Structure 1
Amino acid sequence: MALPSPPQPLCLRRRRKPVMSFSQPKLLPTLLLIILVFFHTFCLSQNVIEYLPGFPGKLPFKLETGYIGVGEKEEVQLFYYFFESESNPEKDPLMLWFTGGPGCSSLFGVITEIGPFTFDFLNFKGSLPSIILREHAWTKVANIIFLDQPVGTGFSYATTPEASYSNDTYTSELDYEFLKKWLINHPKYINNPLYIGGDSYSGIIVPLVANNVYRGNEAGIKPLMNIKGYVLGNPYTDAFGERNEKVPYAHRMGLLSDRLYHSAKINCHGNYVNVDPENALCLNDLESINQCLNKINIRMISEPYCDSVWKAKEDVLSSDVSFSEEIPINFLQPVVAPGKKIMCRADPLVLLYIWANNKFVRQALNIREGTKEEWIRCNQTIESGRDAPKETTSYVCNVKSVVGYHQNFTRKHCRTLIYSGDHDFICTHTSTEKWIESLKVPILSDWRPWFVEGQVAGYTMTYGHGDYELTYATVKGGGHTAPEYKPEECFALITRWFDRNSL
């Protein structure tokens, strides 16, 4: 059954037509455009949120939520959270941010990664979670739009069954349409430096959207955007490269012995993905490798493996993207008792489920009734599109590599920041380094440490020529994704990069 159509906004009351005269007739089209944009702005609903359940008093930052219809007949309704910069919103960068998956809600990015608030897990008493401010929020230095995309993610929805189906390329087109409409409705940010950003599977989506923006500007499509580049964290970039690099990475991190790694490298000819089914020596080596890796926490290899929250894949090398899957029923069980040691980083996720599904929270965020029965962090019918046939999923991952897009950006006026947590086994830093090297961009600054509070925070390189520059950085001790594990270091990273300072 089709979901209800979005409510029609209440526009301004019709006023008496003013008497106007124009000494220069050619100004009329421009003035008409301004008038149309003016009325369009006021006809779209904007929800400025001043209070949130769980936070005492008025929010100390500007939060806006809303829906923007995109696609044919606007049958896709994309939900967003917009946080205005706490520093200088008129001049600070504007960043459109995507959370990975595909199909994982941007609210997860807000709460656990780069947003301005999170939950007080240690003092949770079993009712509505208390909100606490995050010291190292990226919203202190940037205006950020967190978008629930593709359709079916978070609080985004489709008004018809047909509109609920999507893929990488179509999603990126709708994201670009969303951004155009959002900027028309928020003209004060049209001149801010624009960056497209995201992490994890958004490593596929961000280059596609950025490419749409550059092409739109070149074609003169209004509004013209002040795009400066893009930001990627722990990015999934190339289906074969990400998967094939897991074996070398595991060896480098001490998870495989020299003997086993070199045996597999010889017997599999360096290809651990497209294996000849008759190659028994390679298959035996891969079976031994899987036994070594089966109980490793792939989000952060040095932290405990938690099968109470994450449903691991039996074969770490079997999927295009070896993301562990959540077991939703676990979030309905009692949470860790106050004062008890937190063994698993995923334990506090239960608070996110409780908060996002609270009716008062939904009312505060202005979630449309009847569009989402339950908020879930990652929509499995979308996320399963990585390996499922088209007829069993609502999403098709039809772009297997975006390395070519990155290559194309090297010929544009473009700044790029790419960072990787070096303990991430989902999108390894070594696979990212390989495709960056394949771009053949001259090195401006070779491998060196970067520091926070006098300590090595990771290692960095800078590439560039002409108007193109790419900064790459590892985050020492960071997992998937880095800001969740190393917030202070990642905040220093993005602040310095926005300010064009050396890391």
Structure 2
Amino acid sequence: MKPLSQSHLQRWNLFNQFSRPVFFCVFLLVVSSEVIESQFIVKTLPGFVGDLPFTLETGYIGIGESDDVQWIYYFVESEGNPENDPLMLWLTAGPGCSGLSTLVSEIGPVIFNNANSTVEKPMLEMNSNRWTQVANILYVDQPAGTGFSYATTPKAYKTNDTLSAMQVYQFLKKWLVDHPKFLNNPFFLGGDSYNGILVPMILQEIYNGNEVGEETQINIKGYILGNPLTDIRGDYNSRIPFAHNVALLSDEIYESTKQNCHGEYLNVNPNNSLCMQDLQVVDKCLERINKEYILDPLCDTSNTLKNSHLFKRVLKSLDNTSMTNWLLPRVQRQRCRVYHEDNPLINIWANRKDVREALHIPEEYDGIKWVKCNESLTFDYGKEAISYTNNVPSTVVYHKHLTYKNCRALIFSGDHDMLVSHLGTVNWIESLNLLVVNYWRPWYLDNQVAGYTMKYSTRDYNLTFATVKGGGHIVRLYKPKQCSRMFMRWLVDDPLYIFTS
């Protein structure tokens, strides 16, 4: 028997397939795995040559009144001054995308060495653009059913935005109790994509807890969001103006669609025949465009998953690339990047027995497949959810509440992302009615324009918005160096627009 996890759609429904006596045995076995809440220091990782030159810790923390939700975390200490450097909890895309993928393929200390890897032997190397050079970073597989996190009851697998935000706050408090030396470190909450919904809600939980005198006081200083879904209707409606701005739609098509649909492309009146006709033309123009990165080809494979974001009524895209595509000649496959599976080597690596042993994954997981993003935790707009429900369609009001806090924010967007375009992000930022401190101007890296930035402020709150030139939806996959330098400069409050070589 094994803990119920993420690798099957509706994993929690497996309970219904067992007879009552067998169910009871499974339940007891799963509950017994709660003893794995211990912390483990990982000295080596398969595929990495030698001992790890950084401190990596893994462990499980129980969430809920009866700890019926078990989340695994991966914690990397800063390579600088861990006692004083900021502590950041980073939430990975989703819902349902594993923090392990961020640890070993995005902003974490290691990445896959594609040139020296084979299917049989994926190799790791140090990530020159790791964010852990300047910050302690905590990654987590959440909610239950993500990565190596699981629940002990079928009910505990079902969640929504509100519950997820409360669970993250509970997880963070428990983690800090177990790691009291980081209680006084400046704390930042970060995330991207769907976590644009969750992060502002979690921040509200933290500020509320601090203000009512919760025993665990979190030294919250700010938050970081990349291409964040924030307002479902507004972000979706920004796609067509974005497509027009980048010449994917003609002036005539755009103006006709805008006029006949009245700027509303998500909640369309089906009796508005002119609008429906225009949207069919728009769909035809955009159906073969990679929404996550409009310059890349759309990769058709037999292993394709639908886009994980909920607002997919009209515009569709493909997310997975198969190992068949990965094994194409390097020059050919370099242009086949996609959102969920930028590097399929992680699927092979994370499902190896020696990797799981190194990460201290419980033996009950043997035989259960790890996947980067759990499809049962994703959903389509207007369709019944499987196990995760979007019950907060907009978090603009949460951002508005945060403007009354002593708080810093960095919001950044890849400027070639049509999934959550920078136009939609700028729209909701401007709706906060902040004062503009620095107007639109370029920011630089290596004597080149790396993007454009604005800075806003009100009271003790300030917000920096930045585009990353040439970046896609998960910006760090496309422009890792630019994102790393942007993060480091913002962290010490250096203005992005100051020219640096």
Q: TM-score, normalised by structure 2?
A: 0.89
Query: Does 2:379 align with 1:379?
Result: no
Letter in structure 2 aligned against 1:352: I
Q: Which runs of 5+ in 1 are unaligned?
A: 11-43
Q: What SS does structure 2 have at the residue aligned with 1:204?
A: helix
Where does residue 332 of structure 2 map in the other structure?
Answer: 341
State the Cα distance separating 1:242 from its structure 2 match. Answer: 1.1
For 1:59 and 1:469, how far apart are their aligned partners in 2? 37
Judged with a 3 Å threshold, the aligned counterparts in structure 2 of structure 1 residues 429 and 310 are, in CA distance, closer, same or farther, namely farther
My pick for the range that moved more, 240-249 or 107-116, is: 107-116
For 1:323 and 1:409, how far apart are their aligned partners in 2? 33
Choose which of 16, 19, 30 in structure 2 pairs with 1:4. Answer: 30
Q: Is the Cα–Cα contact under 8 Å of residues 298 and 318 in structure 2 kept in the other structure?
A: no
Where does residue 181 of structure 1 map in the other structure?
Answer: 174
Q: Is the Cα–Cα contact under 8 Å of residues 403 and 459 in structure 2 kept in the other structure?
A: no
Query: Does 2:130 align with 1:104?
Result: no
State the Cα distance separating 1:340 from its structure 2 match. Answer: 5.3
Matches within 5 A, 1:377-416: 377-384=372-379, 387-390=382-385, 393-416=386-409
Q: What SS does structure 2 have at the residue aligned with 1:4?
A: helix
For 2:82 and 2:441, how far apart are their aligned partners in 1? 33
Q: Is the Cα–Cα contact under 8 Å of residues 97 and 373 in structure 2 kept in the other structure?
A: yes
Choose which of 112, 122, 125 in structure 2 pairs with 1:119. Answer: 112
Where does residue 362 of structure 1 map in the other structure?
Answer: 356
State the Cα distance separating 1:113 from its structure 2 match. Answer: 2.0
State the Cα distance separating 1:310 from its structure 2 match. Answer: 4.0
My pick for the range that moved more, 395-404 or 114-123, is: 114-123
Judged with a 3 Å threshold, the aligned counterparts in structure 2 of structure 1 residues 8 and 408 are, in CA distance, closer, same or farther, namely closer
For 1:63 and 1:70, how far apart are their aligned partners in 2? 22
Could you report, residue by residue, the CA deviation over 1:331-364 in whole angstroms, capped at 9, with x for unpaired residues?
4x58415655323124752201000000110010
Choose which of 329, 347, 358 in structure 2 pairs with 1:353. Answer: 347
Where does residue 21 of structure 1 map in the other structure?
Answer: none
Residue identity (%): 48
Judged with a 3 Å threshold, the aligned counterparts in structure 2 of structure 1 residues 322 and 341 are, in CA distance, closer, same or farther, namely closer
Where does residue 20 of structure 1 map in the other structure?
Answer: none
State the Cα distance separating 1:108 from its structure 2 match. Answer: 2.0
Question: Structure 1 runs of 4+ off > 3 angstroms?
Answer: 6-10, 309-313, 316-327, 337-341, 385-388
Judged with a 3 Å threshold, the aligned counterparts in structure 2 of structure 1 residues 74 and 371 are, in CA distance, closer, same or farther, namely farther
Matches within 5 A, 1:173-252: 173-252=166-245
State the Cα distance separating 1:127 from its structure 2 match. Answer: 0.7
Where does residue 40 of structure 1 map in the other structure?
Answer: none
Judged with a 3 Å threshold, the aligned counterparts in structure 2 of structure 1 residues 100 and 377 are, in CA distance, closer, same or farther, namely same
For 1:276 and 1:385, how far apart are their aligned partners in 2? 19
Judged with a 3 Å threshold, the aligned counterparts in structure 2 of structure 1 residues 322 and 387 are, in CA distance, closer, same or farther, namely farther
For 2:331 and 2:444, how far apart are their aligned partners in 1? 33
Query: Does 2:445 align with 1:452?
Result: yes
Q: Is the Cα–Cα contact under 8 Å of residues 313 and 380 in structure 2 kept in the other structure?
A: no
State the Cα distance separating 1:369 from its structure 2 match. Answer: 2.2
Matches within 5 A, 1:48-87: 48-87=41-80
Q: What SS does structure 2 have at the residue aligned with 1:492?
A: helix
Q: Is the Cα–Cα contact under 8 Å of residues 89 and 188 in structure 2 kept in the other structure?
A: yes
Could you report, residue by residue, the CA deviation over 1:16-74 in whole angstroms, capped at 9, with x for unpaired residues?
xxxxxxxxxxxxxxxxxxxxxxxxxxxx5111101000011000111111110011210
For 1:237 and 1:494, how far apart are their aligned partners in 2? 21
Could you report, residue by residue, the CA deviation over 1:274-303 in whole angstroms, capped at 9, with x for unpaired residues?
222222111111001001100111111011
Q: Is the Cα–Cα contact under 8 Å of residues 400 and 432 in structure 2 kept in the other structure?
A: yes
For 1:486 and 1:423, how far apart are their aligned partners in 2? 11
Judged with a 3 Å threshold, the aligned counterparts in structure 2 of structure 1 residues 325 and 420 are, in CA distance, closer, same or farther, namely same
State the Cα distance separating 1:445 from its structure 2 match. Answer: 0.9
Q: What SS does structure 1 have at the residue aligned with 2:364?
A: coil
For 2:489 and 2:326, how far apart are their aligned partners in 1? 38
State the Cα distance separating 1:118 from its structure 2 match. Answer: 1.0
For 1:337 and 1:441, how far apart are their aligned partners in 2? 49
For 1:149 and 1:323, how far apart are their aligned partners in 2? 24
For 1:334 and 1:263, how far apart are their aligned partners in 2? 39
Q: Is the Cα–Cα contact under 8 Å of residues 54 and 129 in structure 1 kept in the other structure?
A: yes
Matches within 5 A, 1:409-448: 409-448=402-441
State the Cα distance separating 1:248 from its structure 2 match. Answer: 0.5
Q: Which has the larger radius of gyration?
A: 1
For 1:349 and 1:88, how far apart are their aligned partners in 2? 31
Q: Is the Cα–Cα contact under 8 Å of residues 300 and 318 in structure 2 kept in the other structure?
A: no
Judged with a 3 Å threshold, the aligned counterparts in structure 2 of structure 1 residues 299 and 399 are, in CA distance, closer, same or farther, namely same
State the Cα distance separating 1:111 from its structure 2 match. Answer: 2.7
Q: Is the Cα–Cα contact under 8 Å of residues 299 and 318 in structure 2 kept in the other structure?
A: no
For 2:117 and 2:194, how far apart are their aligned partners in 1? 31
For 1:86 and 1:258, how far apart are their aligned partners in 2? 51
Judged with a 3 Å threshold, the aligned counterparts in structure 2 of structure 1 residues 223 and 161 are, in CA distance, closer, same or farther, namely same
Query: Does 2:153 align with 1:160?
Result: yes
Could you report, residue by residue, the CA deviation over 1:124-169 in whole angstroms, capped at 9, with x for unpaired residues?
2321200011101111111000111111111100011121111111
Could you report, residue by residue, the CA deviation over 1:73-117 in whole angstroms, capped at 9, with x for unpaired residues?
100000111011111111111001101111111122223321111
Where does residue 268 of structure 1 map in the other structure?
Answer: 261
Where does residue 37 of structure 1 map in the other structure?
Answer: none
Where does residue 41 of structure 1 map in the other structure?
Answer: none
Q: What SS does structure 1 have at the residue aligned with 2:409?
A: strand
Q: Is the Cα–Cα contact under 8 Å of residues 173 and 212 in structure 1 kept in the other structure?
A: yes
State the Cα distance separating 1:383 from its structure 2 match. Answer: 1.0
Q: Which runs of 5+ in 2 are unaligned?
A: 1-14, 16-26, 497-501
Q: Is the Cα–Cα contact under 8 Å of residues 125 and 338 in structure 1 kept in the other structure?
A: no
Where does residue 19 of structure 1 map in the other structure?
Answer: none
Q: Is the Cα–Cα contact under 8 Å of residues 78 and 151 in structure 1 kept in the other structure?
A: yes
Judged with a 3 Å threshold, the aligned counterparts in structure 2 of structure 1 residues 451 and 354 are, in CA distance, closer, same or farther, namely same
| Structural RMSD (CA) | 2.1
Judged with a 3 Å threshold, the aligned counterparts in structure 2 of structure 1 residues 8 and 428 are, in CA distance, closer, same or farther, namely closer
> Aligned residue pairs: how many?
464
